[in-house]
Amino acid sequence: MKAIYIRISTANQKTERQMRNTENEKHFIDVCSGTIPFIERPNAQKLMNDKTITEIQVEDIDRLGRNGLDVLNTIQLFTANNVNIHIERYGLDTLIDGKTNPLTDFLVGILSSLSQMQRNTILENTRQGVAIAKAKGKYKGRKRGATSPVAKYEQKYAKQILVASDMIKAGKSINQIAKDLNEVKELAINRATLTKLNEFGLLKSV
């Protein structure tokens, strides 16, 4: 039996890109950060306990996780149980004819490390953006008496506005900003809301 494993960071993200409608496949979907260890995710646990599964398909390596060691441990766990993991983006299989694929082991190690480095970079850039904004006195907190729709959005998403504005200045798109911010729990925001902030003129590139 083949399984499709899907991980999305927030419930607002769509799963269609990672999912296929096939009667002979099971779908396991987790809504969580990639930093959550695989074995701690509710539906990942169900997948691990399903003894009918012989192959797992994931869209990309970061669906398994963003911590290199955790990703490798997850692959080793399934390999030990003769379960192949197919990484669709790269056309890689962890098992070939029931034997470990040396090339996949090598590439997975590199890709998972790069994924972890990318997340660390996003986190560091975000922290620096908040620190710079505070140092410049741009973050003043809530404004008393503000009741207009724009003011409400400005109050509720003050931190996101500061960081997103810096990202726009750096040339990033709304879609990429939404993806990056959702990697940081305290800055999580869906794309629709971020677009609304931009329409209100709250995201300033200068």
pLDDT at residue number 134 = 67
pLDDT at residue number 68 = 73
92/85 Cα distance (integer angstroms)? 8
Residues 6+ apart with CB under 8 A from 6: 15, 18, 19, 27, 28, 29, 30, 58, 59, 63
Cβ pair 188, 10 in contact under 8 A: yes
Q: Tell me: pLDDT of 153 over 50.
A: yes
Number of other CB atoms surrounding residue 68 within 10 Å: 19
- In degrees, rounded to 5, the angle at the alpha carbon of residue 185 between the alpha carbons of residues 160 and 166 is 30
pLDDT at residue number 8 = 87
CA dihedral 190, 191, 197, 202 (to 10 degrees): 100
Ordered by start, the domain boundaries in the chain are: 2-112, 138-199
164: nearest Cα among 146, 184, 150? 184
CA 69 to each of CA 4, 47, 58, 59: distance values in angstroms, whole numbers, following the listed order: 22, 20, 18, 19
Report the Cα 98 to chain-centroid distance in Å: 31
Q: Which of 101-105, 150-154, 187-191 has the highest mean pLDDT?
A: 187-191
Angle between helices 158-169 and 149-156 (to 10 degrees): 90
Give tens-digit pLDDT for 31-75. Answer: 888 878 899 999 999 999 999 999 999 998 889 987 777 888 888
- CATH code 3.40.50.1390 for 2-112: yes
Give the pTM.
Answer: 0.54
Give tens-digit pLDDT for 161-203. Answer: 888 887 787 778 888 888 878 877 777 888 888 888 888 888 8
Identify the residue with better confidence: 62 or 128: 62
Q: Which of these ranges, 17-26, 83-92, 97-106, 180-189, has the smallest mean pLDDT?
A: 17-26
pLDDT at residue number 95 = 93
Q: Tell me: pLDDT of 143 over 60.
A: no
Give tens-digit pLDDT for 69-94. Answer: 788 888 888 988 999 999 998 888 99
18/60 Cα distance (integer angstroms)? 9
Cβ pair 18, 6 in contact under 8 A: yes
Angle between helices 191-199 and 149-156 (to 10 degrees): 130
Residue 52, Ramachandran bin (φ over 0: left; ψ between -120 and 50: alpha; else beta):
alpha
